[in-house]
Structure 1
């Protein structure tokens, strides 16, 4: 695993999450991110290493190796800070209290399957994108 790449753990069966991953891949001009589904062996290992319980957090987690990990709205905004076009907005929104941001985030996360649908299995990356997935 590349120790300097930021790792995004996502719900591999969630259509919203998969669309978000595709958006990040498309806009990750500096090749900063790697991806793993929460349900994958690698995802479960990374969660266990950090004692993260998916009963509490089951949607998105950003891991910056040897630095920290972020969850919920903070993870989403930290990812956005690294994407052209979202840097300024993400930086501004990070100034809002995390408790307020997470109320909005939790509403979307709770309803994501109902609003956006769900896949039967995790996304399989194309051969071109395979190196971006752990």
Structure 2
């Protein structure tokens, strides 16, 4: 299974987390595109306005299955080896999911102030491929 991660390629925190995920996964399960890549966004029917709600995770085998924001972060965690244990514990604790969602929103909305903005958009070494989108005709 492959999942497509749409992230903010100008956000220092976002890029650091993508780089961590790249090092853990080495492109086996996740492929990436910055939300600044309008061509990729249009292939998925994603608008820049959609990206304002945070990172997006797309199931490449069933592109209608999507997660966004803190739900995307949780799903990525769930997909990682032994990650499901932590995600299920997090979701099971009363009020923690709600608090996590609010914290995600605050970080999302203030990410450049809190963590800085890159001078150049980060391009992953594991870009979303045409085969995972099924829409390329190259």
Q: Which runs of 5+ in 2 are unaligned?
A: 129-138
CA contact (8 A) 2:35 2:51 kept: no
Of 123, 127, 132, 1:133 maps to 127
Q: Please report the TM-score for the alignment, with normalisation by the length of structure 1.
A: 0.77
Contact 2:4–2:58 under 8 Å retained in 1: yes
Q: Give the helix-richer structure, 1 or 2.
A: 2
* Pair 43,92 (structure 1): closer, same or farther in 2 beyond 3 Å: farther
Match in the other structure for 1:12: 9
Root mean square deviation of aligned Cα: 2.5
> Match for residue 135 of structure 2?
none
- Sort the Cα spacing of 1:55 and 1:120 in 2 relative to 1 into closer, same or farther, 3 A: same
CA deviation map 1:51-99 (0-9, x unaligned): 6833641x31101131510011110010011223533112322346765
- Pick the aligned partner of 1:62 from 57, 61, 64: 57
Which structure has the larger Rg over C-alpha atoms?
2
TM-score by length of structure 2 reads: 0.75
**Corresponding residue pairs, total:** 124
Extract unaligned runs of 5+ from structure 1. none
